[in-house]
């Protein structure tokens, strides 16, 4: 039997089979540089996270395991050169191989277009990949014992499941120049007359927006949440605003409820409870809750509340993220962005102290999933050791600047980006040697 930090069973003896833990330990070569059977799709990114990304790869991954990385450079310069084709190529590769790991990337706005002399403001790579994989994003805080959450009642992780398709992220919006009528028109594809809904009769300038979602995407969102909750054994909350948006939000509530009913036997057997709440009620309840729940959120709510939950648990640098597609593809990343401010310091040659934990957990998440699919427990062991080393370092009071006042007792000094990674490397090397001894 192989256990993780929370004493959850990772591999039962049947799965380990002939490669029992003892024989893995004794088979020097395998443990020295275990091989990842199937390629992992690697998506490189931008700014400070790109700097950290290559350090993690060079110091903590490649020296320890043998892995073929299908590399796609999603850095803003290469997206511009390829007219963003590289993003779609990467999305297809994730669908093909099943597991990807992604560095944070710039979503350019007009300021970034000037800064990087881009041909245009290319769309968000995350939105492109999410739309292609029709995935749901799950964000989970990475917990260290010496970091007390800002909300006293939070004892266990609160996982945010963000519906990753549609709503305002696929909106058509415009500035209404002056008096006139804005309508929504539905033209049936086959027979039937168009149906028109008046949105507003403007007496002066204003703004308007049309948004949409599809039953298929809502249902696959609900299914992904159910699968995730079953695998993590957490209760599920779903919240929306169906009292106001009776049709749009009401439809989400209805379809989500139907998918839950369809799996009620499995959920009951696993002791998982489902609650529907109004979004404002859910926010209030959350502040009194001990955690250990999967909070399924509509796209915008998930965007906003994942940042709230992340900072409530400590730092953005301690929040991991995975995109799960209904076809069984997984993409792991950190929840934070490219940490732009730190990058400008780095460019000036100043020391930085950027937390690499969420990026490291993106790598370990991808390796763990690959190991589960390939049935290679030695890769799971490696991922576990890397995570343990990183968390144990924080728990011993060695931290980056963002955590200095969050840990108790507060740290007196902090590590630079590089020295922190070096300490993880040293700890990992010790653990690997101990395992082989
Ligand atoms: P950010 O990268 O999330 O960082 C915002 C602030 O949070 C940082 O300035 C820093 O605060 C703190 N922070 C975040 N991650 C940290 C870490 N690992 N260690 C220490 N502190 C951390 O957001 P941003 O700098 O405003 O955005 C930069 C770019 O990221 C944007 O172009 C945006 O499009 C992109 N973005 C990408 C993704 C993605 O690819 N998944 C997600 C979000 C944003 P202090 O400065 O106070 O130290
Ligand atoms: Mg956000």
Is there an atom of ligand 1 within 6 Å of 43 CB? Answer: no
Q: CA–CA separation, 11 vs 17, rounded Å?
A: 10
For ligand 1, is residue 355 a contact (CB within 6 Å)? yes
- pLDDT confidence band for 434 (50 / 70 / 90): confident
The CA 316 to ligand 1 mean position distance, Å, reads: 8
In the predicted structure, residue 309 carries a pLDDT above the cut 60 = yes
Dihedral sign (CA 279, 281, 287, 292): negative
| Mean pLDDT computed over 35-54 | 98
8 A C-beta contact, residue 123 and residue 88? no
| Residue 232 binned pLDDT confidence (cut-offs 50, 70, 90) | confident
At the fourth CATH level, which superfamily is domain 1-147+314-437?
Isopropylmalate Dehydrogenase (3.40.718.10)
Lowest mean pLDDT among 67-81, 176-190, 319-333: 319-333
Residue nearest to atom 44 of ligand 1 (CA): 337
C-beta 44 within 6 A of ligand 1: no
List of residues 6+ apart from 214 with CB closer than 8 A: 165, 166
Is 70 exceeded by the pLDDT of residue 26?
no
Measured by CA distance, the residue closest to atom 39 of ligand 1 is 104
Pocket lining: 50 vs ligand 1, CB cutoff 6 Å: no
* Amino acid 314: pLDDT: 79
Q: How far away, in angstroms, is 78 Cα from ligand 1 center?
A: 21
**Length of the chain counted residue by residue:** 437
pLDDT, residue 105, reads: 98
Give how far Cα 375 sits from Cα of 12, 13, 242, 251, Å.
11, 12, 44, 40
Distance in angstroms (rounded) separating the CA atoms of residues 24 and 16? 10
**3-state secondary structure (DSSP) of residue 304:** helix
The pLDDT of residue 25 is: 44
* Ligand (nearest to CA of 319): 1
Mean pLDDT within 61-75: 97
pLDDT band at 84 (very low <50, low <70, confident <90, very high): very high
Pocket flag, ligand 1, residue 353 (CB < 6 Å): no
Q: Is 348 exposed, middle or buried (0-12, 13-18, 19+ CB in 10 A)?
A: exposed
Record the tokens describing residue 296, joined without a space: 């399924």
Q: Of the ranges 4-8, 169-173, 236-240, 321-325, which is most confident?
A: 236-240
Which residue is listed with tokens 């995935």?
135
Report pLDDT digits (tens) over 114-156.
999 999 999 999 999 988 987 788 999 998 999 988 898 998 8
- Cβ–ligand 1 distance for 338 under 6 Å, the answer yes
Token pair for 324: 């799960």
Q: Are 424 and 60 in contact (CB under 8 A)?
A: yes
DSSP bridge pairs for 196: 185
Is the C-alpha dihedral spanning 300, 301, 302, 306 positive or negative? positive
Residue whose CA is closest, atom 27 of ligand 1? 337
Of the pLDDT bands very low, low, confident and very high (cuts 50, 70, 90), residue 349 is very high
Mean pLDDT value across the chain: 91
Cα separation, 196 vs 22, whole angstroms:
69
**Any ligand 1 atom below 6 A from CB of 360:** no
**What is residue 227's predicted lDDT score, i.e. its pLDDT?**
83
DSSP class of 148 = -
- For the Cβ of 337 lying below 6 angstroms from any atom of ligand 1, the answer is yes
- What pLDDT is recorded for position 401? 96
Ligand nearest to the CA of 414: 1
- Predicted pLDDT of residue 30: 40
Where are the domains positioned within the chain?
1-147+314-437, 172-210, 213-312
Secondary structure E strands in 187-270: 195-202, 206-210, 235-240
The pLDDT value given to residue 306: 85
Going by pLDDT thresholds of 50, 70 and 90, the confidence category of residue 29 is very low
Higher pLDDT, 236 or 32: 236
Kindly report the protein residue whose alpha carbon is nearest to atom 23 of ligand 1: 337
Mean pLDDT of 212-225: 94
CA R_g for the chain: 23
pLDDT for 6: 55
Which residues, by Cβ under 5 Å, contact ligand 2, an ion?
303
Q: Would the pTM of this model clear 0.85, i.e. be above it? A: no
Say what the pLDDT of residue 24 is. Answer: 43
Q: What SS3 class is residue 116?
A: coil
pLDDT single digits (tens) 152-185: 899 888 999 999 889 998 999 999 999 999 999 9
pLDDT, position 19: 42
pLDDT, one tens digit per residue, over 91-105 is 999 999 999 999 999
Q: Tell me which of 24 and 242 has the higher pLDDT.
A: 242
Distance from C-alpha of 138 to C-alpha of 117, rounded to nearest angstrom = 34
What is the rounded distance in angstroms from the CA atom of residue 119 to the CA atom of residue 114?
9
Range with the poorest average pLDDT among 2-16, 35-49, 191-205: 2-16
């Amino acid at each position: 039997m192989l256990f993780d930090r929370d004493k959850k069973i990772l591999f039962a003896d049947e799965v380990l089979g002939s490669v029992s833990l003892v024989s893995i330990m004794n088979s020097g070569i395998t443990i020295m540089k275990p091989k990842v059977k199937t390629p992992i799709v690697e998506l490189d990114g931008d700014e400070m996270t790109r700097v950290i990304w290559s350090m993690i790869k060079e110091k903590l991954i490649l020296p320890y395991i043998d892995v073929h990385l299908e590399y796609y450079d999603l850095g803003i310069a290469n997206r511009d050169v390829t007219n963003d084709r590289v993003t779609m190529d990467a999305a297809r590769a994730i669908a093909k191989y099943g597991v990807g790991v992604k560095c944070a990337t710039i979503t350019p706005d007009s300021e970034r277009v000037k800064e990087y002399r881009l041909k245009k403001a290319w769309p968000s790579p995350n939105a492109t990949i999410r739309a292609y994989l029709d995935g749901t994003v799950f964000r989970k805080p990475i917990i260290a014992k010496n970091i007390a959450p800002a909300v006293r009642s939070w004892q266990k992780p609160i996982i945010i499941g963000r519906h990753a398709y549609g709503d305002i992220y696929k909106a058509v919006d415009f500035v209404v120049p002056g008096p006139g009528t804005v309508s929504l028109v539905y033209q049936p594809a086959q027979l039937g007359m168009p149906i028109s809904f008046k949105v507003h009769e403007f007496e002066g300038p204003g703004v308007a927006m049309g948004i949409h979602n599809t039953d298929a995407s809502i249902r696959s969102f609900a299914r992904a949440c159910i699968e995730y909750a079953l695998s993590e054994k957490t209760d599920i909350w779903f919240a929306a605003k169906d009292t106001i948006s009776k049709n749009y939000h009401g439809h989400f509530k209805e379809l989500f409820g139907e998918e839950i009913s369809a799996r009620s036997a499995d959920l009951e057997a696993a002791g998982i409870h489902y609650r529907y709440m109004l979004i404002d009620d859910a926010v209030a309840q959350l502040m009194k809750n001990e955690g250990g729940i999967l909070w399924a959120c509509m796209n915008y709510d998930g965007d906003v509340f994942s940042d709230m939950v992340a900072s409530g648990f400590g730092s953005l640098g301690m929040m991991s993220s995975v995109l799960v597609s209904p076809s069984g593809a997984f993409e792991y990343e950190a929840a934070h962005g490219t940490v732009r401010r730190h990058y400008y310091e780095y460019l000036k040659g100043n020391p930085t102290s950027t937390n690499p934990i969420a990026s490291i957990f993106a790598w370990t998440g991808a390796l763990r999933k690959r190991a589960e699919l390939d049935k290679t427990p030695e890769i799971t062991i490696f991922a576990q050791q890397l995570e343990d080393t990183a968390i144990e370092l924080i728990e011993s009071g060695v931290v980056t600047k963002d955590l200095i006042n969050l840990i108790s007792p507060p740290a007196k000094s902090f590590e630079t980006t590089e020295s922190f990674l070096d300490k993880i490397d040293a700890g990992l090397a010790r653990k690997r040697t101990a395992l082989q001894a």
